Chains A and B, each alone.
Chain A
Amino acid sequence: MSATLYERIGGEPAVDAAVNIFYRKVLNDHRINRFFDNTDMDKQLAKQKAFFTMAFGGPNNYTGQDMRNAHANLVKTGLNEDHFNAVMEHLGATLTELNVPGDLIAEAAAIAESTRNDVLGK
């Protein structure tokens, strides 16, 4: 059996490294940081870890419905296509910064992209 994307990217240590870079980018991006401005940083980090584990096709139990539910409150406060694109941008830039090969970045981006309608509640 060939290694999964999650394994090829580097598993949990890669997720941790990615969260460090990604979360800093997101908090510095005025277009979207209001969505992440939860005072409880540990909870936010746990969710960012879940985000990357999922984008890397790693072990998670999220269904499309879960993605809908997780973001439903954000959609109510205005989450839209532009915000989604900004997150995709930071995802790509983060993985580039970590020197992840381009074909693996494309795979991760495709997984994240596939959640677009659920995340945006469409």
Chain B
Amino acid sequence: MYTLTIDQNTYICKSDETVLDALLRENINLSFACKKGTCHSCMVRSANVRPPKAAQSGLKNTQIKQNYFLACQCYPEQDMHLKLPDQSEFYRMGRVITNKLLNRNTILLVVAFEDAFEFNAGQFVNLQRSDGLTRSYSTANIPEQSNTLEFHIRRLPGGVFSSWLHDEVNMGDSIAVSEARGHCFYIPERHEQGILLVGTGTGLAPLAGILTDALANGHTGPIHLFHGSRELEDLYRIDEMRQLAEQHQNFHYTPCLSGSHIPEGFAAGRVNEIALSGIPDLKGWRVFLCGHPDMVNQMKKQAFLKGAAIADIYADAFLISTH
């Protein structure tokens, strides 16, 4: 059991409790989203001692040197003095310029910035509401002169943040956006390599960005996109993808439906199984997996067993934590 000190106040951190859980228990308003070390929205700084190594895994060297660490990954090893960062250190304000439906439960949200926003197509950012509520969302466009970020956001039944974005955020509103993070993006090398893109639901967002980026970089190898959901009404951008496939002979698009009604032109079954049966061997391929955590985790292993090298498998599981 150790004490955590913030300004003049001290709090107890029980053994087997993370710094984040201890502070939340004490009703300190600390932002967080994943509790898994992925989103980095719970970053705080130690003012006296070096934080445990595991709590700094994945941080930039400059942050490590300044004793920043992830509160959700930190089991203290001694008493700690903490500095809660001013959120403006990590967030910049953008303006919503589009909020419209892509299908019955997914919106296209476009956020514009005054000057360039640095990111790689496919990376995710954290969006933050003024009360500190934070969630991660993947970018769906490529960096352009227009200084915008595009998101596809699905409304989850009872989901707090997605409902807020759907129902209450309007054109012209400002919204706080973090730096871009994550490893799920296209690297312009080995242009002749095969690329497999598999996504469920809004997993199409990062895949669309990666696809646009690969085509813009003149990727010559075959690019296969498999996009799946249960019902037709939950897919989107079907016509755009079909058009793109007509324009680029190395790009192939297969929309997949796992429900019972399968119209012509759609593949029947689970998206990962359809993708695997369509490509005999993934040796030498680059694989991107985004969306439902079960699909992503299963497919990671299946793609590996089909020959893809570990370093060539990029994945973003859209973890939803039950808070």
Contact = CB atoms under 8 A, between A and B. Distances in A.
A28 B306 CA distance: 11
A40 B310 CA distance: 13
A70 B87 CA distance: 40
Given A39-B297, A41-B297, A41-B300, A27 B305 contact: yes
Interface of B, secondary structure class, is: helix
Interface string B285-298: 00000000000011
A45 B310 contact: yes
Contacts of A40: 297
B301 A41 contact: yes
A24 B310 CA distance: 10
Contacts of A28: 305
A28 B304 CA distance: 11
A20 interface: yes
A23 B304 contact: yes
Interface of B: 297-298, 300-301, 304-305, 309-311
A19 B297 contact: no
A16 interface: yes
Question: What are the 6 closest A-B residue pairs judged by CB atoms, nearest first?
Answer: A41-B300, A39-B297, A41-B301, A20-B310, A20-B309, A27-B305
Nearest to A39: B297
Interface string A21-54: 0011001100000000001110001000000000
B304 A24 contact: yes
Contacts of A23: 304, 310
A41 B305 contact: no
Nearest to B294: A39
Nearest to A27: B305
A67 B297 CA distance: 27
Given A16-B311, A19-B310, A45-B310, A24 B300 contact: no
A85 B305 CA distance: 22
Nearest to B298: A39
Contacts of A20: 309-310
Contacts of A16: 310-311
B300 to A, nearest CB: 5
B36 to A, nearest CB: 11
Contacts of B304: 23-24, 27, 41
Given A16-B310, A27-B305, 10 more contacts: A16-B311, A19-B310, A23-B304, A23-B310, A24-B305, A28-B305, A39-B297, A41-B297, A41-B301, A41-B304
A40 B300 CA distance: 9
Nearest to B312: A20
A45 B305 CA distance: 14
Interface in A55-85: none
A20 B311 CA distance: 9
22 contacts: A16-B310, A16-B311, A19-B310, A20-B309, A20-B310, A23-B304, A23-B310, A24-B304, A24-B305, A27-B301, A27-B304, A27-B305, A28-B305, A39-B297, A39-B298, A39-B301, A40-B297, A41-B297, A41-B300, A41-B301, A41-B304, A45-B310
Contacts of B309: 20
Nearest to A28: B305
Nearest to B310: A20
A28 B298 CA distance: 15
Q: Point out which of A16, A28, A40, A41 has the most chain B C-beta atoms below 10 A from its C-beta.
A: A41
A45 to B, nearest CB: 6
A40 B37 CA distance: 15
A19 B310 CA distance: 9
B302 to A, nearest CB: 10
A40 B311 CA distance: 16
